[in-house]
Amino acid sequence: MLTGEWGQTPDDGNRQSRPLGSDPVSRRGFLGAIGGVVLASAAFDVPRFLVRAALAAGGQPAAKSGERVLVVVQLQGGNDGLNTVVPFAMDDYYRRRPSIAIARADVRKLDDVVGLHPEMSGMESLFKDGRLAIVQGVGYPDPDRSHFRSTEIWESADLAGGASRSGWLGRCLCDRSGHGESLLPGVALGGREMPQALVADRPRPTRNDAAGDESASSAVAVESLDEFRVRGEGLSPEKAALERKLLADLAGEPRIDTEGSLEFVRQSLSSTFAAAERLHDAVSRYSSPVNYPDFDLARKLRQVAQVHLAGFGTRIFFVTLGGFDTHASQRQTQALLLRELSQSLAAFVADLRHHGALDQVLVMTFSEFGRRVEENGSAGTDHGTAAPLFIAGGGVKGGLVGAHPRLDDLVDGDVKFAVDFRRVYATAIESWLGVPSASVLGAPFDPLPIV
């Protein structure tokens, strides 16, 4: 009869109290079966990210440890770059946009050629402060004008369009060069659906991996921070607190089985309960003299600040502002959106500065494409190609990067791109986060000298 680990189980109750390999047959079966891998990995069974969580639970705020954070703001729908960073000195701009061009007098001038949309006073201040870089004419070769495909290109950083649906930020999180583990390495705020940018591309786990802690590299997508908690719905606050304590105690109680899946899950649960409580406490303790404006994006960025300041070691945040697909009546729609972007970002920066954390944070925007130079018949613009992109933060060398694309030298009615978007990514990945970018981007790209 077979005995050992693969043997039958006559008495469940005895299983856990019986040490592994306690009889010769079982020992042979065990070693033969797993080739020492499990034995070797038992020591690492405690997921590495829990070490970090324990640190966080012990009250070591990462915000003080100088770790760098990347905040990506997606402008969904294809933001019209020409009415965002306005080339007021180019006559072609006014000729091609008779009804929607921003009047010269209204432009917030940055130099002799371009200026910001009148609603962008907050970002104008950041620019004057030297904390905002504007990269002009960002795009990629052979551009696609479909929302889906172009978003896929920007989020995957893969122009070939393979079947791999991983994203540049997800791949970046898989590389842990020089970074500690985190319970929340990447956070998308504002929706349950994971943006493709944060999808990791891991090889199918080998046995070694399976015994490791790959979950540490996975990002989470949450509607809001309230989701990151045992909610206790339908219970009084007192009863909910009692139950949270109960669950933490039940997960904290040691099991006889101290290796394998049960222990992995138990420790993960135990640290999750602790981390959720800590996050909740930190968020409720958070206070700031900065008043965020009443915008959705502002609320998301405020939560980003809260998580960052709570010290969870989150390296990448992703938030989305939608509605930029301005085919008709563009003026009002885009003005509101740019106001939301500019005021929210300015409040976020002010908040971080107040907490002494601005130097740790880099914010960048992106949109799947810019829009046509020529306005359409509905006082709007159709899908185009290259557009400017914003990068803000304490560590940013502010200013205009590159020249505004010429409007008298178009391809199919669109501006030519000057800077490959993957150079901006290389800047964020390598110059800012310190992760080698060639493997993440599939090829080497020169970072821009702005951080």
Partner 1 sequence: MIDGDAKKLLEPFEPSAEDPWDRAKAAHLLRRGGFGGTALEIDAALKAGPEGAVHALAEGDECDAYRDTLALGDVIVASNDLESLQAWWLLRCVRAGRPLREKIALFWHGHFATSLAKVERARLMLRQNRLFLERGLGPFEELLQAVSRDPAMLVWLDSNDNRRGKPNENYARELMELFSLGLGNYAEGDVKEAARAFTGWHVQGGEFFFDADKHDAGSKTVFGKSGAWDGGDVVAMCARRPECAAFLARKLFEFFVHPEPDPALVAALGESLRARGLRIGDWLASLLQSRAFYSRRARRAVIKSPVDFAVGLVRVSGATVDGKAMARAVASMGQSLFAPPTVKGWDGGRHWISAAALLARVNFAAAVSRSPKLDAFGDGSVDALLAAFVDGPIPAPVRDRLAAHVAPLHDPDTRMRTLIRTIASLPESHLC
Taking CB under 8 A as the criterion, which residues in 377-436 touch partner 1?
none
Q: How far apart are CB 346 and partner 1 at their closest, in Å?
A: 30
Closest to partner 1 by CB, 44 vs 128, is 44
Examine residue 236 and tell whether it contacts partner 1 (CB under 8 A): no
The stretch among 219-227, 292-300, 303-311, 313-321 that binds partner 1 (CB under 8 A) is 219-227
Q: How far apart are CA 219 and CA 205, in angstroms?
A: 17
Name the CA dihedral angle for 116, 117, 120, 123, rounded to a multiple of 10 degrees.
Answer: -20
Closest to partner 1 by CB, 34 vs 113, is 34
Closest to partner 1 by CB, 80 vs 213, is 213
Q: How far apart are CB 152 and partner 1 at their closest, in Å?
A: 8
Closest to partner 1 by CB, 194 vs 410, is 194
Write the DSSP symbol of residue 371: B
Contact between 346 and 301 under an 8 Å Cβ cutoff? The reply is no
Closest to partner 1 by CB, 60 vs 196, is 196
- List binders of partner 1 among 262-281 (CB under 8 A): 262, 264-266, 268-269, 271-272, 275-276
Closest to partner 1 by CB, 231 vs 397, is 231
Q: How far apart are CB 25 and partner 1 at their closest, in Å?
A: 10
Q: Identify which of 310, 282, 285, 287 has the alpha carbon closest to the alpha carbon of residue 182.
A: 310
| Cα distances (angstroms) measured from residue 399 to each of 134, 308, 375, 431 | 6, 26, 28, 17
Long-range contacts of 264-269 (CB under 8 A, 24+ apart): 264/45, 264/47, 267/45, 267/46, 267/47, 267/50, 268/47, 268/50, 268/215
Q: Is 84 exposed, middle or buried, given 0-12, 13-18 or 19+ CB atoms closer than 10 A?
A: buried
Could you tell me how many residues of this chain bind partner 1 (CB under 8 A)? Answer: 80
Q: Which one of 72, 107, 251, 407 is in contact with partner 1 (CB under 8 A)?
A: 251
Q: Identify which of 411, 450, 442 has the alpha carbon closest to the alpha carbon of residue 139.
A: 411
Q: Which one of 192, 285, 354, 397 is in contact with partner 1 (CB under 8 A)?
A: 192
Examine residue 12 and tell whether it contacts partner 1 (CB under 8 A): yes
Q: Which one of 62, 70, 102, 183 is in contact with partner 1 (CB under 8 A)?
A: 183
Q: Which one of 19, 66, 141, 234 is in contact with partner 1 (CB under 8 A)?
A: 234
Q: Which one of 142, 163, 237, 409 is in contact with partner 1 (CB under 8 A)?
A: 163
Closest to partner 1 by CB, 166 vs 437, is 166
Examine residue 242 and tell whether it contacts partner 1 (CB under 8 A): yes
The stretch among 55-63, 248-256, 284-292, 410-418 that binds partner 1 (CB under 8 A) is 248-256
- CA dihedral sign of residues 229, 232, 236, 238: negative
Closest to partner 1 by CB, 193 vs 412, is 193
Residue type, 376: N
H-assigned helices in 80-146: 91-96, 121-128
Q: Which one of 76, 218, 288, 439 is in contact with partner 1 (CB under 8 A)?
A: 218
Q: How far apart are CA 421 and CA 445, in angstroms?
A: 10
Examine residue 259 and tell whether it contacts partner 1 (CB under 8 A): no
Q: How far apart are CB 103 and partner 1 at their closest, in Å?
A: 41
The stretch among 31-39, 110-118, 341-349, 426-434 that binds partner 1 (CB under 8 A) is 31-39
Q: How far apart are CA 64 and CA 137, in angstroms?
A: 36
- CA dihedral sign of residues 318, 368, 94, 88: positive
From residue 357 to residue 376, the character string flagging contacts with partner 1 as x (rule: CB under 8 A) and all else as - is --------------------
Closest to partner 1 by CB, 3 vs 378, is 3
Q: Is 59 exposed, middle or buried, given 0-12, 13-18 or 19+ CB atoms closer than 10 A?
A: exposed
CA 403 to chain centre: 29
Q: How far apart are CA 317 and CA 414, in angstroms?
A: 31
- List binders of partner 1 among 121-150 (CB under 8 A): 148
- List binders of partner 1 among 271-330 (CB under 8 A): 271-272, 275-276
The residue whose two tokens read 């020249």 is 403
Examine residue 103 and tell whether it contacts partner 1 (CB under 8 A): no
Closest to partner 1 by CB, 249 vs 281, is 249
The stretch among 100-108, 161-169, 359-367, 411-419 that binds partner 1 (CB under 8 A) is 161-169
- DSSP labels, 309-351: HHT----EEEEEE-----SSSHHHHHHHHHHHHHHHHHHHHHH
Residues in the chain: 451
Closest to partner 1 by CB, 12 vs 112, is 12
Q: How far apart are CA 406 and CA 349, in angstroms?
A: 32
Closest to partner 1 by CB, 60 vs 121, is 60
Examine residue 180 and tell whether it contacts partner 1 (CB under 8 A): no
